[in-house]
Amino acid sequence: MLEITTLIVYFSLLLAVAFFSYQKQRSDTDFVIGNRSMNFWLTALSAHASDMSSWLFLGYPAMIFTNGLIGAWAAIGLTFFMFLNWHFIAPRIRTATEQFNSVTINAYFESRFADRSGSIRLISAVMSILFFTIYISSGLVALGVLVESLFNMPYTIGISIGLLIVVVYVFMGGYRTIAWIDVFQGFFLLAVIVFIPTILLMQIGGIHPVMNAAAAQKLSTSLFPDFSGRTLLYIILTAAGWGLGYFGQPQIITKFMGIRHVSEMNKAKWLGISWQFTALTAATLVGLIGIYFFPSGLDDPQRVILNIVQTTLPAFFAVLVLCAILAASTNVMAAQILVVASNLSEDFYKRILRKEATPSELLRVSRISVLIIAVIAFVIAYFKISTIYRLVLYSWSGLGASFGPLLLLSLYRKSINRYGAFVGILVGGLTAAIWPYVENFYHWETPSSLVAGFILSLFSIEIVSYFTRQRTTIKNN
pLDDT in tens, 21-48: 555 555 455 545 555 667 788 888 888 8
Is 376 inside a domain boundary? yes
| 447: Cα within 13 Å, side-chain hemisphere | 19
Taking residues 14-20, what's their average pLDDT? Answer: 66
Is 402 inside a domain boundary? no
Q: How far apart are CA 176 and CA 198, in angstroms?
A: 33
Say if residue 84's pLDDT is above 80: yes
Per the model's pLDDT, the better-predicted residue between 4 and 374 turns out to be: 374
Domain at 163, CATH number: 1.20.1730.10
The residues facing 38 across adjacent strands are: 259
Q: How far apart are CA 190 and CA 279, in angstroms?
A: 6
Q: How far apart are CA 53 and CA 245, in angstroms?
A: 15
Taking residues 323-344, what's their average pLDDT? Answer: 76
Is 477 inside a domain boundary? no
What burial class does residue 391 get, using C-beta atoms within 10 Å of its C-beta: 0-12 exposed, 13-18 middle, 19+ buried? buried
pLDDT value, residue 147: 74
Q: What is the mean pLDDT of the chain?
A: 82
Is 412 inside a domain boundary? no
Is 138 inside a domain boundary? yes
pLDDT value, residue 103: 77
What burial class does residue 322 get, using C-beta atoms within 10 Å of its C-beta: 0-12 exposed, 13-18 middle, 19+ buried? buried
Is 401 inside a domain boundary? no
Report how far apart, in Å, the C-alpha atoms of 151 and of each of 160, 378, 439 are.
Answer: 15, 20, 38
pLDDT value, residue 473: 52
pLDDT value, residue 270: 95
Q: Which of 276, 273, 272, 309 is nearest to 290 (CA)?
A: 309
Q: What is the pLDDT of residues 145-187, one digit of tens each?
A: 777 766 777 888 878 877 787 777 666 655 666 677 777 778 8
- Sign for the pseudo-dihedral over CA of 61, 65, 69, 71: negative
Q: What's the structural domain count of the chain?
A: 1
Q: How far apart are CA 32 and CA 406, in angstroms?
A: 22
- Domain limits for position 228: 2-389
Q: Which of 187-201, 240-254, 268-282, 365-379 has the highest mean pLDDT?
A: 268-282
pLDDT value, residue 477: 47
Is 25 inside a domain boundary? yes
Q: Which of 82, 475, 463, 166 is nearest to 337 (CA)?
A: 166
pLDDT value, residue 459: 96
Q: What is the pLDDT of residues 41-77, one digit of tens each?
A: 888 888 887 777 777 888 889 889 998 999 999 999 9
User: Are the C-beta atoms of residues 280 and 239 closer than 8 Å to each other?
Assistant: no
